[in-house]
Amino acid sequence: MSTPAAPPTNGGSVRNGDASRDGFPGLPPFPNDVPTAPLLRISLAKLLANDQAEEDRFWQACCELGFFYIDLRTGGQSTDEIDGEALLQDAEKLFQVQEEFFGLPLEEKLKYDFKEQGSYFGYKGYGGGLVDKSGTPDRNEFYNTSKDDILGLSSPLPAPPNLNQYRPLFASYMRRSHAVVSLVLRILNARLGLPPGHLESLHRLDAPSGDQVRFVKAPPQPPKDRRTALGEHTDFGSVTVLFNRLGGLQVRLPSHIKPITPASPAPDANTNGAVNGSVEVNGAEENWAYVRPLPGHAIVNLGDAMVKFTAGVLRSNIHRVVNPPGEQAESTRYSLVYFARPEDEVVLRALRGGKVVEEAVKKRLGSGERWEEEEVSSKEWVLRRALGRRGVGSWEKSEGTEEVSLRKGQAV
Ligand SMILES: O=C(O)CCC(=O)C(=O)O
Ligand SMILES: [Fe+2]
C-alpha cells in the first residue's frame, strides 16, 4: 500500500522524500546537488479554511523573506472565486500559448516593442534589458500583457493576431491570480491591524493599475559562456504569482538565513559557481540559493510596494535568473508571471491607521534614522523601475528596495 508523502517536518520547506520533488513530465529533473532556498510551503486550502497555524507560517514567510510556495492543489472549488486547480490549468495553457508566441519571427515580435512610446507592455527582445549598472545585456525575451487592456479598462494595445484569440484565457488567468493576491492582501491586512479591506481597496481588479502577465523565455546558454539571464532585482509592485518549471531562479538570502545544502555537494559546472550557496562577485560574498520548481505550486513573492507600505515590516527579496542547473542546462526555460501592483494613483508610503506599521515608523524615527519618504505614485514607480532596466533613465533611479532586502543601514 502506498502512503502519501509525509508532511514536511522542517517548517514546510522541501526535502528529500517529498513527492513534490518529482519534477515536471518531459523535463529533465532539478538536480539534488545545488543549494536551495528554504522557502515555506503554504497551503491555499488551509489559508481558505482560516487555519491559524498556516497563517502564522505565511506571516513568518512574508516578514522574513517575502518569498514562499503556495500549494494550489485542492485549494478552493470551481464555484469559488479562488480555484487553485483551475489556476494551474490556466497556467498550463498559457505555457503553450507563450511557446506559440515566442515562435513567431523576430520582425513580427519587434512590432510589439513599445519602449520608444514609454510603455513597458508588449515585447522585449533578447538582450533588450540590462542586468547590471554597467549595462550588461540580459539573456531572455519577455512579453508583457496589461490587465487593464485584457479586462477592457484601457484601449487595447496592438497585439499579434495569434494572441488575440486567447484574450478570454488571459482574462481568466488574471482573475484567478488576482483572487489569490487578494487573499494574501486580506490576511496581511488583518495581521498589520489595518482597517478591514484597506490593502484590498488599493488593489481593485477593476481599477487602472500596472498589473500584468509576463511570458519569459530564456534559451540554453553556451556551456563556456553562462551569465545571468535576468539581473538581480526586487519586484516593483505588491504581490507576484510565478510559475516556472526549470530551475534558474535564485534568491539572495540575507546572511542569517541559510540555504538547504546537499549533504555532500558534488561540484557542478552548471551552477554558476553557486555550490554551497555562495558566489564570489566583485569580492563580496553573496548568498544565492536556487528555488526548486514544484509541480502544483506557484511561487509567491512580495514587491517593493509592500515594503514601502509597511516601513519594512514586510520583505521584498532580491532575486535573479541564471542558466538552469545540472541536466536542465540544455533546455529552454519558460516562466509565467502575474504581477499585482497598487492602483496607478496610490502613493507608495507607510500606511496610516494600523498599529504594526505605526510602531515600525516610530522605531525608525526614534533610532535617529534619516528617513524621508518620496511622494511617488505606483504608476510612476513601476514605469521608472521597468524602463530603467531597459536603459531608459538612470540605473540608480530605477533601484527599488534592495537595501532593505539586504538589511543594510536600519535593521528593519
Ligand atoms: O523567471 C523566473 O523564474 C523569475 C522571473 C522574475 O523574477 C521576473 O520576471 O520578475
Ligand atoms: Fe522578479
CA distance 340 to 298: 14
pLDDT in tens, 342-369: 999 999 999 999 999 999 999 988 887 7
pLDDT at 13: 53
Q: Where are the alpha helices (DSSP H) in 103-137?
A: 106-110
Residues measured by CB to lie within 5 Å of ligand 2, the ion: 235
Position 128 confidence tier, pLDDT thresholds 50, 70, 90? very high
Which residue's CA is the nearest one to ligand 1's atom 3?
249
pLDDT in tens, 227-241: 999 999 999 999 999
Which residue's CA is the nearest one to ligand 1's atom 4?
249
Q: Which of 269, 223, 272 is nearest to 252 (CA)?
A: 272
| Any ligand 1 atom below 6 A from CB of 124 | no
The lowest-confidence range among 37-51, 66-80, 114-128, 164-178 is 66-80
- pTM of this prediction? 0.90
How far, in Å, are 22, 52, 166, 246, 289 from residue 294 at the CA level?
8, 24, 26, 9, 15
Neighbours of 308 (CB within 10 A): 26
Q: Does 410 score more than 70 pLDDT?
A: no
| Any ligand 1 atom below 6 A from CB of 138 | no
CA distance 334 to 248: 10
Neighbours of 17 (CB within 10 A): 9
Position 181 confidence tier, pLDDT thresholds 50, 70, 90? very high
pLDDT at 286: 83
Distance 248 CA to ligand 1 centre (A): 9
Residue of 144, 244, 319, 320 best suited for mutating to test ligand 1, as the one with most atoms within 8 Å of CB: 319
pLDDT in tens, 39-72: 999 999 999 999 999 999 999 999 999 999 999 9
Average pLDDT score over residue span 169-179: 97
Closest ligand, as measured to the CA of 338: 1
**C-alpha grid cell, residue 285:** 560574498
| Any ligand 1 atom below 6 A from CB of 337 | yes
Q: Does 412 score more than 60 pLDDT?
A: no
ipTM over 0.90: yes
pLDDT in tens, 269-327: 333 333 444 444 443 478 999 999 999 999 999 999 999 999 999 999 999 999 999 99
Which residue's CA is the nearest one to ligand 1's atom 1?
335
Contact of 286 with 278, CB cutoff 8 Å: yes
How far, in Å, are 198, 208, 303, 400 from residue 361 at the CA level?
18, 29, 19, 19
Distance 338 CA to ligand 1 centre (A): 10
pLDDT at 197: 97
**C-alpha grid cell, residue 197:** 479591506
Average pLDDT score over residue span 141-163: 96
| Any ligand 1 atom below 6 A from CB of 318 | no
Contact of 210 with 379, CB cutoff 8 Å: yes
pLDDT at 284: 47
Distance 272 CA to ligand 2 centre (A): 19
| Any ligand 1 atom below 6 A from CB of 216 | yes
